[in-house]
Structure 1
Amino acid sequence: MAVLLAVFGFWRHDRSTARVAAGPANPPVRGLHVRGSEIVQAGGEPLLMRGISHPYAWFPQHTAAFADIRRLGANTVRVVLTGDVPGREVAGIVARCKENRLVCVLEDHDTTGYGEREGAVTLDRAADYWAGLSPVLRGSEEYVVVNIGNEPYGNGDTSGWAEATGAAVAKVRAAGVRHLLMVDAPNWGQDWSGTMRDSAPAVFARDPLRNTVFSVHMYGVYGSAAKVTEYFDAFRRTGLPLVVGEFGWRHTDGPVAADAVMRESDARGIGYLGWSWSGNGGGVDYLDAAEGFDPDRLTDWGRRLFDGIRATAREATVFTRASR
């Protein structure tokens, strides 16, 4: 995440132009998977993620959030986890997502700002967490995405991002996790250095299933429509899938061109997940979509975000098929 949470009291503000070379035929992938620059579903239909993050790890009592987010029109929820959330709870989260017909992006928040934030863990540690959850996740490949580590590098030296991310992908695969994987950019997710953009093909090649999507977070670095389109256009040249894994309408590093994020994502078929449902503190409560976790008290940001979501969200086919 790119916000200050009162619960923890920490803050953050925070080219390659070549396509991936053809390699051996991909092993069979069940469920959500990559097809060129798209995320597609088991039957081959594209999936356009439209949703929001829910800070479950700090507010596990707010389980109604899943139904509320779905009722407001989202097709995806990104669920904040930490290594303290055990497998039995993760199984319950997955079941709740399925019950509410939501694609479930599970993310490990412990890596946030590694190298700058005290206590942040490595992507290797996060990969161990997912490896341990492999039996819990098995069978949910059609509606669960594994976001290996949130914003895994700060604004310092990001030269190790590609190797650390590729190694984490390989470790998670070796543990038997066959889900669509999501990897976050460095620079607190904003990739202003272009590290993820430049290294995405090499990281993608480390995944034996070739089933990884790349996530940029858009805050103050993307304060103009031109900055948003510049990044989208530059990443498109990799030929790989991109999502906006987080964004807000403003932040400690400046205003955000949120309308451009949504508009240009629509134009390019890019998924987006707003930050966040509720619970922000320490002066950045303006990033709450709902006041006090109440879906009937949406903020200006919440109304703006969910208006965009409802206009373009389509339910995942795994759920529409089940209702026939």
Structure 2
Amino acid sequence: MRSPTATVPRLAAVMTAVLGLLLPLLALVTPAHAAPTGFRVENGRLLEASGNDFVMRGVNHAHTWYPDRISSLAHIKAKGANTVRVVLSSGDRWTRNDTADVANVVGQCKQNRLICVLEVHDTTGYGEQSGAVTLSRAADYWISVQSALTGQEDYVIVNIGNEPYGNTNYANWTADTKAAVQKLRNAGFDHTIMVDAPNWGQDWAFTMRDNAASVFAADPDRNTVFSIHMYGVFDTAAEVGDYLDRFVAAKLPVVVGEFGHDHSDGNPDEDAILSVTQQLGLGYLGWSWSGNGGGVEYLDMVTNFDPNQLTSWGQRLFNGPNGIAATAKEAAVYSASGGDTTAPTAPGTPAASAVTSSSVTLSWSAATDANGVTGYDVVRIGGGAETVVATTTGTSATVTGLAPATSYTFAVYARDAAGNRSQRSGTVAVTTSSSGGSPAACGVVYKVTGQWPGGFQGEIVVRNTGTSAINGWTLRWTFPDSQRVTNLWGGTAAQEGAAVTVTSAPYTASIPAAGSVTLGFTASRGTANPSPTAFALNGAACTVG
């Protein structure tokens, strides 16, 4: 959400008339070769996989800034919504929502029988807003968390990037949007894709409106939905109606992805937005549930995330004429799936065996589910992304095609017949051997050498208890609380969540038989500071103490 700062231009009447004639001729429908596995677009309408027409009635929720407010999804559902648009971050401007968090959001949406529209907010106002990133960068983020989205096409719509241009260079929106859509399709995304308008989402220059047909045609699946954000630009019923009517006449799918009852750039006509979308059978998603700041706190629908404290805006949107309570219909997929929205329990942390220079066998304890677990996905974790490397119906799998003397981290997800996906298992660190042999044996001594409020200093002694020298090593452990390494000497540290990986420095790479090296580090901490209980050196579990 962000308002424009430029004066809204008005097109000449003759141009309006010409465009009104041309847009319907440019409209395209889903081609016969496209076979979306979940939501799909046909003749300008958004359909579920069953063929049921689906009209979004919901709100936006600022998850990336308030990750502890995940219970808001249940409250939003209780107010009658059938859809929630969830704010995520690629990590470029705010804290990155990793694969596990995205999977949890999707799981919570499904548990609460909501359709999830997931959006990356870091693109907001690109070209004008400092720090904003490109749609291509947003597409890279979606690819990095793809394993959390694969198989969720019935429940998830991917909104590539929020308001991807401000009021500078917005003519580039068309080419950039086509390229981002195609990037996701080439990566294997079968989801319905949503694209936001430029001009801070409000499209006052009509770039999206006038180029929507060509963008739709550039999607090989013909499965793209357009999202207009209606704030001060749309302050009359005529403007609201004219904009939306043109998409409907052209059989191009459109939703109002954001709107409010007031704004610093003008007073949007929320009554017109609600009545016109209801008349045309179009979706809308109000901004936003709670947590607004920067002078737009009036856009909160509830006070301090309390569902029992509806604001006047929340009362209007949920309970007023053409509002959510009066018009929302739950997605048919939740009835079609027998109502099973409960994910399996997480599988046990995998154990590694038979480690060679190119493969490893992983085994784990089974997950449970009331309707039965149908399979498991083994994922490789690295660089902030997860990649599915094996699928199986059993509780073990052999991962092949690995590089010699390379460190990997693996985890497992479970799935049930309804497509629900479990939370991720614990992770296991594995380092392949250089010649097919077993990793060296090791011992670790971990101790805290000093601490202060919010931080501490630690020392790790790594001992080679094997019979031959270690030349090059990777040490892994998982912190049991909220500790995070801030500096380390004796190696190079990387941390994802609680999992820490340290790669040897040149001067500590060699550990002779019966020899040792010492690492030092500083880290942040919470109130408690419990010590890790397990370490692995080159994939082999070390004795501790």
Q: TM-score, length-normalised on structure 2?
A: 0.57
1:224 alignment partner in structure 2: 236
Aligned residue for 1:48? Answer: 55
Tell me the equivalent position of 1:9: none
Equivalent of residue 65 in structure 1, options 68, 72, 83: 72
Identity %: 53
CA distance in 1, matches of 2:29, 2:294: 48
The structure, 1 or 2, with the larger RCO (C-alpha pairs under 8 Å, 6+ apart) is 1
- The residue aligned with 1:82 is 89
1:181 is matched with 193
- Please give the alpha-carbon distance, in whole angstroms, between the structure 1 residues aligned to 2:156 and 2:5: 28
Task: Select the structure that is richer in helix.
Answer: 1
Aligned residues: 316
Q: Measure the CA separation in 2 of the matches of 1:22 and 1:226.
A: 28
> Structure 1 residue 27: deviation in Å?
1.8
Computed over aligned residues only, the root mean square deviation of the Cα atoms, in angstroms, reads 1.4
Distance 1:173 1:23 in 2: 15
Alignment correspondent of 2:436: none
1:1-324 pair list within 5 angstroms? 1-2=1-2, 15=19, 17=23, 18-21=25-28, 25-83=32-90, 84-307=96-319, 308-323=323-338
* Structure 2, unpaired ranges of 5+: 7-18, 91-95, 340-545
Shift, 1:283, TM fit: 1.5
1:74-114 deviation line (CA, Å, top 9, x unaligned): 00000000011101100000000000000000000010000
Equivalent residue number for residue 413 of structure 2:
none
Task: Tell me, in whole angstroms, the C-alpha distance in 2 between the residues paired with 1:13 and 1:39.
Answer: 32
Whole-Å Cα distance in 2 between the matches of residues 104 and 21 of structure 1?
26
Secondary structure in 2 matching 1:221 = coil
Supply the distance in 2 between the matched residues of 1:264 and 1:45 (Cα, whole angstroms): 21
User: Separation in 1 of the partners of 2:5 and 2:327?
Assistant: 29
**Aligned-residue offset at 1:236:** 2.4
Offset, 1:155: 1.4
**Secondary structure, aligned partner of 1:183:** strand
Shift of 1:143: 1.0
Could you tell me how far 1:2 is from its partner in structure 2?
Answer: 2.7
* Structure showing the higher strand proportion among its residues: 2
Partners of 1:13 and 1:252 within 8 A in 2:
no
For each residue in 1:163-192, what CA deviation from the matched residue of structure 2 results, as whole angstroms up to 9, or x when unmatched?
000000000111111111000000100111
Work out the CA distance in 1 between the residues paired with 2:331 and 2:317. Answer: 20
Contact 2:30 2:42 in 1 (8 A): no
What is the rounded CA distance, in whole Å, between the counterparts of 1:71 and 1:24 in structure 2? 38
Q: 2:29 touches 2:44 (CA, 8 Å); kept in 1?
A: no
Counterpart residue identity of residue 224, structure 2: T
Provide closer, same or farther for how the CA distance between residues 303 and 162 of structure 1 changes in structure 2, counting only shifts above 3 A: same
Paired residues of 2:37 and 2:49 also in contact (CA < 8 A): yes
Contact 1:13 1:188 in 2 (8 A): no
| Alpha-carbon offset, residue 59 of structure 1 | 0.3
- Alpha-carbon distance, 1:31 to partner: 1.1
1:314–1:163 CA distance, 2 compared to 1 (3 A)? same
Moved segments of 4+, more than 3 Å: 12-16, 21-24
Q: What is the CA distance between 1:13 and its match in structure 2?
A: 5.8
1:150 counterpart SS class = coil
Give the Cα separation in 1 of the matches to 2:28 and 2:298.
Answer: 43
AA aligned to 2:2 is A
1:295–1:48: structure 2 CA closer, same or farther, 3 Å change rule?
Answer: same
Q: Is the 8 A contact 2:77 2:113 kept in 1?
A: yes
Kept after mapping to 1: 8 A contact 2:29/2:41? no
Rounded Cα–Cα distance in structure 1 between residues aligned with 2:89 and 2:308: 28
Is 1:57–1:80's contact at 8 Å kept on the other side of the alignment? yes
Gaps of 5+ in 1: 4-11
Q: Distance in 1 between matches of 2:336 and 2:207?
A: 39
Contact 1:228 1:261 in 2 (8 A): yes
Instruction: Please state whether the residue corresponding to 2:119 is helix, strand or coil.
Output: strand
**CA 1:318–1:254 in structure 2 vs 1: closer, same or farther (change >3 Å)?**
same
Judged with a 3 Å threshold, the aligned counterparts in structure 2 of structure 1 residues 21 and 314 are, in CA distance, closer, same or farther, namely: closer
Larger radius of gyration: 2
Q: Give, in whole Å, the separation in 2 of the partners of 1:216 and 1:161.
A: 14
Conserved 8 A contact 2:28-2:216? no
Inter-partner Cα distance in structure 2 for 1:236 and 1:44 = 19
